[in-house]
């Protein structure tokens, strides 16, 4: 079963070897003493040092010769050799079966033989037909052999009988002692024959263990391991292995083995034959006898890197010198490390997927990866499998090795990069050039078609650039262009493209804007303004302060409605309009869009002025109970526009939110509502009315929102209990915990909360439960069709049930008809708001309404 090598270095071996790795390539040769396990045919056949023989011993001798190793053979019972190996006295076991347990203390070469296990019994035995019948039986095993490990794992420990050799065990069994012996089938059959034990047989059914025999070295002896793997490969390429195989296994084949039994060994041998070929395979074409050393030199000195990877562990088991030279790692660092650890993080995914592909298809495409060198350098490599070997299925295992050739293509990559840079990028600014822009524009048009989102193309020309060039020279002009490029890139998102067409012409392409061209135009305009501002900041041109302005032409593109050349032309034309309009400005190509954008910009200016001058007025809309008694009011803001008269909120609230003007505007509304509460507090009939105020999410999310509400309550003296803040579900999309906290603080002061537009947005029930709400407001879209649409009726019913179950009041808004009101009442709704009772009206009208209703009552 096993031959071990004891390495003697000037005396007792263990002490010398266990500490650090020996340099087997150095000139100072160490002497190896080889010990063979006693009688484990055909692998080991002697009982003493002098009579050591067998397949593995012969194979070792050939491998040692290839590797240039000196050795002496030392024969011992297997369990003794294993202990010496673990103790650091034996450093190489040349016939140790691979197992996970043994990997803890040994590193293995490629396995050289794979054998199956068998159960041996007496021929007259009638009770043991499969190995499962061994439970409770007296079973013989060679001490510390894989059969011993297997029997232990099956729980047959109590009845195990340990022997030193196969012959000893089988003789015991033949003499009628014990019930069975677990053993390598090949060893058992050869021993039966040699010892003439004709009353024994192997069970037809194979035992559940198999042995992959390999040379084993102490952990960390990577240099030796690599040498052995390489030498083993040489024995395959020069025919030694086949000769030994025929010598030791052929005998058995002729005399004993049926073809089926033998095929496993044959295939295993073939595995080894193939698996170790790697870089050596081409050598078979040449004169083997004189080639070995030359080809080792060729292997090591090849400009390409070679790597052998054990597919089972994915560890590197061999490499040539070139790989070490290029990567800067030592052989010790490389051998035994994970193959993937050589890859840069950026290449790991590709390497892994290629690896997986290889495992499933046994074919490996040529891939380009990046290696991480020991000093952090990155080397681009082109990788291909110079040979990949797959063992045909055997009982034993499916052991495979992948041999890779890696070519350093760093220079080629750099050249490609440079070519691409020249072809697609502007050399002065490193921005994409026209060709790259057109390529990206094509993709952007296709993407717009897919997503339905608009994009925009901006043509940017620097005003009076020629004058700068003429007066300060081209160097300064170049500096300006480089700084402009940087500012443009900093003004847009990463997904956008900034390109230079040449001269002082730049193009910015924006993607993924809104689906609505109106909004997309406003987004593009905002970025155009940002660019105008950025390019207006003075430049430092090598000590010379310079002010430059741009003219920007913008055109929108949507869903591939036009081609790239036409778009560039439009943006260019728009840029000329910007120049004609006095420069340092932007213009849209489409006059309608330009008008809309102008109107938007004008509205913003007007709204800003209106907020400053408080050109607003509050309208009041009554809220009534089941008896049509007004219990409260919602205040709704209107803009008192000098030319347009009263402007409804839908025309300016979104703009106020976009520009941040909602903050002063919202405060103004809240302040006036609270003043009204204070004023009503002393008026009978009005003093008990609540006032609901809409609060935008922008306001609520301000860190100082709570302070501002409390400050307004304090300064106006309003009763917080009569103030109801209306929030919308959209507020709950962001940082709910913060919202809950703010609501809780205000609620503690008496302020109440109503959830507006309920049912139209996102409301998680779990949040709803935690929000300190007082009221749900059924959105008017459900009320509108409540009589005709059963779905709406059902939604309203559900909202009512939900609200009441949470202990809230529920008010229906948008009630326009008596029929709607009556139906809502049937559904158990008791509070209403809508045109049926009153439209939003001025204060005086509202107060008149309240007093009128009071008098009518």
Residues near ligand LFPHGCPZ (CB under 6 A) are: 621, 634, 636-637, 648-650, 653, 666, 669, 694, 696, 756-757, 780, 813-816, 833-835, 840
Of 78 and 620, the one with the shorter C-beta distance to ligand LFPHGCPZ is 620
Of 188 and 840, the one with the shorter C-beta distance to ligand LFPHGCPZ is 840
Of 513 and 713, the one with the shorter C-beta distance to ligand LFPHGCPZ is 713
Phi-psi map region of 2: left, alpha, beta (phi>0 left; psi -120 to 50 alpha): beta
The CA–CA distances, whole Å, from 720 to 242, 711, 712, 713 equal 98, 11, 10, 7
Q: Which two tokens stand for residue 469?
A: 């060039």
Q: Which residues contact 608 (CB under 8 A, 6 or more apart)?
A: 659, 661
Residue 369: phi and psi, rounded to 5, are -130, 175
Least Å distance between CB 634 and ligand LFPHGCPZ? 6
Contacts 24+ apart (CB under 8 A), 149-154: 149/99, 149/101, 149/209, 150/117, 150/182, 150/207, 150/208, 150/209, 151/182, 154/208
> Rounded to 5 degrees, what angle do the CA atoms 257, 263, 268 make?
120
Q: Would you give the DSSP letter of residue 543?
A: T
Of 306 and 700, the one with the shorter C-beta distance to ligand LFPHGCPZ is 700
Least Å distance between CB 666 and ligand LFPHGCPZ? 6
Of 33 and 655, the one with the shorter C-beta distance to ligand LFPHGCPZ is 655
Least Å distance between CB 758 and ligand LFPHGCPZ? 10
Least Å distance between CB 783 and ligand LFPHGCPZ? 8
3-state helix vs strand vs coil in the chain, percent to 5: 45, 25, 30
Of 172 and 617, the one with the shorter C-beta distance to ligand LFPHGCPZ is 617
Q: Which residues contact 66 (CB under 8 A, 6 or more apart)?
A: 230, 231, 232, 234, 235, 292
- CA–CA gap between residue 613 and residue 607 (Å, rounded): 10
Of 650 and 762, the one with the shorter C-beta distance to ligand LFPHGCPZ is 650
Of 381 and 669, the one with the shorter C-beta distance to ligand LFPHGCPZ is 669
Least Å distance between CB 820 and ligand LFPHGCPZ? 9
Q: Which two tokens stand for residue 657?
A: 């939110």
Of 686 and 691, the one with the shorter C-beta distance to ligand LFPHGCPZ is 691
Least Å distance between CB 726 and ligand LFPHGCPZ? 6
SS3 66: helix
Residue 177: phi and psi, rounded to 5, are -90, 140
159, 137 Cβ separation under 8 angstroms: yes
Least Å distance between CB 466 and ligand LFPHGCPZ? 51
Residue 457: phi and psi, rounded to 5, are -115, 125
- CA–CA gap between residue 141 and residue 545 (Å, rounded): 93
H or E element at residue 140: strand 139-142
Of 442 and 660, the one with the shorter C-beta distance to ligand LFPHGCPZ is 660
SS3 580: helix
Least Å distance between CB 782 and ligand LFPHGCPZ? 12
Of 481 and 743, the one with the shorter C-beta distance to ligand LFPHGCPZ is 743
Least Å distance between CB 848 and ligand LFPHGCPZ? 19
Of 395 and 634, the one with the shorter C-beta distance to ligand LFPHGCPZ is 634
Least Å distance between CB 665 and ligand LFPHGCPZ? 7
Least Å distance between CB 815 and ligand LFPHGCPZ? 6
Q: Which residues contact 448 (CB under 8 A, 6 or more apart)?
A: 454, 455, 511, 557, 558, 559, 560
Q: Would you give the DSSP letter of residue 107?
A: E
- 42 preceded by a cis bond (ω within 30 of 0): yes
- Give the HSE-up count for residue 414: Cα atoms under 13 Å, Cβ half-sphere: 6
Least Å distance between CB 628 and ligand LFPHGCPZ? 15
Of 179 and 756, the one with the shorter C-beta distance to ligand LFPHGCPZ is 756
Nearest to 392 by CA among 313, 229, 275: 275
Kindly tell me the burial class for residue 320, based on how many C-beta atoms sit within 10 Å of its own C-beta (0-12, 13-18, 19 or more). Answer: buried
86, 101 Cβ separation under 8 angstroms: no
Nearest to 501 by CA among 520, 481, 521: 481
Least Å distance between CB 616 and ligand LFPHGCPZ? 8
Length in residues, the chain: 857
Of 311 and 800, the one with the shorter C-beta distance to ligand LFPHGCPZ is 800
H or E element at residue 34: strand 31-36
Nearest to 625 by CA among 348, 781, 483, 815: 815
Contacts 24+ apart (CB under 8 A), 796-805: 796/824, 796/827, 796/829, 797/827, 797/828, 799/758, 799/759, 800/827, 800/828, 800/829, 802/768, 802/776, 803/775, 803/776, 804/828
Q: Which residue has the tokens 């999309």?
A: 733
Of 336 and 814, the one with the shorter C-beta distance to ligand LFPHGCPZ is 814
Least Å distance between CB 611 and ligand LFPHGCPZ? 12
Of 589 and 619, the one with the shorter C-beta distance to ligand LFPHGCPZ is 619
């Amino acid at each position: 079963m096993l031959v071990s090598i004891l390495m003697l270095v000037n005396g007792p071996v263990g002490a010398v070897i266990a500490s650090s790795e020996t340099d087997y390539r150095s000139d100072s040769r160490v002497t190896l003493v080889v010990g063979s396990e006693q009688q484990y045919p055909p692998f080991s056949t002697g009982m003493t040092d002098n009579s050591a023989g067998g397949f593995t011993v012969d194979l070792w001798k050939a491998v040692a010769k290839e590797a240039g190793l000196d050795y002496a053979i030392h024969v011992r019972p297997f369990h003794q050799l294993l202990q010496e190996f673990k103790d650091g006295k034996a450093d190489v076991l040349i016939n140790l079966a691979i197992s996970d347990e043994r990997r803890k203390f040994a590193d293995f070469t490629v396995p050289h033989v794979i054998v199956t296990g068998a159960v041996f019994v007496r021929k007259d035995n009638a009770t043991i037909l499969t190995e499962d019948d061994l439970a409770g039986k007296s079973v013989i095993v060679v001490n510390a052999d894989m059969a011993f490990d297997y029997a232990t794992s099956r729980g047959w420990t109590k009845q195990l009988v340990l022997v030193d050799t196969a012959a000893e065990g089988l003789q015991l069994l033949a003499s009628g002692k014990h019930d069975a012996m677990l053993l390598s089938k090949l060893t058992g059959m050869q021993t039966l024959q040699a010892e003439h034990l004709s009353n024994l047989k192997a069970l037809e059914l194979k035992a559940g263990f198999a042995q992959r025999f390999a040379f084993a070295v102490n952990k960390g002896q990577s240099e030796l391991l690599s040498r052995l793997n390489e030498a083993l490969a040489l024995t395959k390429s020069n025919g030694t292995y086949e000769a030994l195989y025929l010598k030791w296994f052929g005998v058995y084949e002729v005399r004993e083995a049926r073809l089926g039994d033998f095929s496993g060994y044959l295939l295993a041998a073939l595995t080894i034959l193939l698996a170790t070929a790697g870089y050596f395979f081409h050598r078979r074409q040449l004169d083997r006898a004189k080639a070995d050393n030359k080809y080792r030199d060729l292997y090591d000195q090849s400009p390409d890197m070679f790597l052998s990877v054990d597919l089972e562990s994915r560890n590197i088991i061999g490499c040539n010198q070139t790989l070490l030279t290029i990567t800067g790692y030592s052989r010790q660092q490389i051998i035994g490390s994970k193959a993937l650890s050589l890859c840069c993080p950026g290449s790991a995914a590709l390497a892994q997927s290629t690896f997986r592909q290889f495992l499933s298809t046994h074919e490996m495409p040529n891939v380009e990866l990046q290696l991480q060198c020991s000093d952090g350098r990155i080397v681009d490599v082109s990788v291909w499998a110079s040979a990949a070997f797959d063992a045909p299925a055997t009982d034993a295992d499916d052991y495979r090795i992948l041999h890779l050739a890696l070519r350093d293509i760093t220079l080629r990559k750099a050249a490609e990069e440079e070519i691409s840079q020249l072809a697609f990028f502007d050399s002065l600014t490193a921005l994409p050039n026209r060709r790259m822009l057109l390529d990206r524009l094509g993709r952007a048009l296709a993407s717009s078609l897919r997503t339905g989102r608009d994009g925009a193309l901006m043509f940017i020309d620097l005003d009076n650039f020629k004058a700068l060039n003429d007066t300060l020279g081209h160097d300064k002009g170049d500096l300006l262009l480089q700084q402009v490029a940087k500012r443009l890139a900093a003004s847009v998102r990463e997904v956008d493209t900034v390109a230079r067409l040449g001269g002082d012409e730049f193009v910015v392409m924006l993607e993924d804007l809104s689906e609505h061209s109106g909004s997309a135009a406003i987004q593009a305009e905002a970025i155009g303004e940002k660019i105008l501002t950025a390019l207006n900041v003075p430049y430092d041109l090598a000590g010379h302060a310079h002010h430059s302005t741009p003219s920007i032409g913008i055109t929108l593109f949507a869903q591939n409605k036009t081609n790239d050349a036409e778009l560039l032309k439009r943006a260019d034309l728009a840029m000329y309009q910007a120049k004609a309009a006095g420069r340092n400005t932007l213009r849209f190509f489409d006059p309608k869009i330009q008008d809309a954008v102008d109107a938007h910009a004008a509205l913003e200016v007007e709204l800003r002025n209106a907020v400053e001058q408080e050109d607003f007025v509050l309208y009041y809309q009554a809220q009534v109970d089941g008896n049509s008694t007004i219990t409260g009011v919602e205040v709704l803001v209107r803009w008192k526009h000098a030319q347009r008269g009263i402007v409804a909120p839908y025309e300016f609230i979104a703009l106020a939110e976009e520009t941040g003007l909602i903050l002063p505007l919202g405060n103004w509304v809240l302040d006036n509502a609270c003043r009204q509460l204070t004023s009503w507090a002393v008026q009978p009939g009005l003093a008990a009315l609540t006032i609901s105020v809409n609060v935008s999410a922008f306001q609520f999310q301000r860190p100082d929102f709570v302070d501002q509400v409390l400050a307004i309550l304090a300064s106006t003296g309003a009763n917080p209990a009569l103030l109801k803040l209306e929030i919308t579900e959209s507020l709950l999309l962001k940082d709910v915990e913060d919202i809950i906290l703010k609501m809780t603080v205000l609620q503690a002061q008496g302020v109440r909360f109503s959830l507006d537009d309920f049912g139209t947005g996102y409301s998680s029930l779990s949040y709803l439960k935690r929000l300190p709400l007082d009221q749900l407001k059924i959105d008017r879209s459900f009320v509108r069709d409540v009589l005709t649409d059963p779905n709406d009726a059902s939604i309203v019913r559900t909202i009512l049930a939900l609200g009441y179950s949470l202990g809230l009041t529920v008010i229906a808004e948008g009630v326009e008809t008596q029929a709607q009101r009556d139906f809502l009442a049937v559904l158990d709704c008791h509070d209403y708001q809508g045109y049926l009772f009153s439209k939003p009206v001025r204060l005086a009208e509202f107060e008149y309404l309240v007093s009128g209703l009071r008098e009518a009552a």
